């Protein structure tokens, strides 16, 4: 990915209403683009049709 890192995946296998925390070791002060999707954890398969809108934020 030019001028950036990734993609990086963070999985939450614990179900609806739970959270996970991940340290992606991104440079502080950089921009982060992400989206939330459903997936099949065992196969590490992202279900693209379930993804929400892309969000860009400041790290």
> Over its length of 59 residues, how does the chain's per-residue pLDDT go in tens digits?
456 667 788 999 898 899 999 888 888 888 888 899 999 988 989 999 999 999 999 88
Show the CA angle centred on residue 38, arms to residues 12 and 56, nearest 5°.
85
Of the candidates 42, 40, 48, which has an alpha carbon nearest to the alpha carbon of residue 7? 48
- Residue 1 is predicted with a pLDDT of 45
- Residue 4 is predicted with a pLDDT of 66
């Amino acid at each position: 990915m030019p001028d950036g890192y990734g993609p990086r995946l963070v999985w939450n296998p614990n179900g609806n209403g739970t959270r996970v925390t991940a340290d992606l070791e991104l440079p502080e002060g950089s921009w982060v683009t992400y989206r939330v999707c459903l997936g099949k954890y065992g196969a590490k398969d992202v279900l693209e049709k379930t993804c929400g809108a892309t969000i860009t934020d400041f790290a």
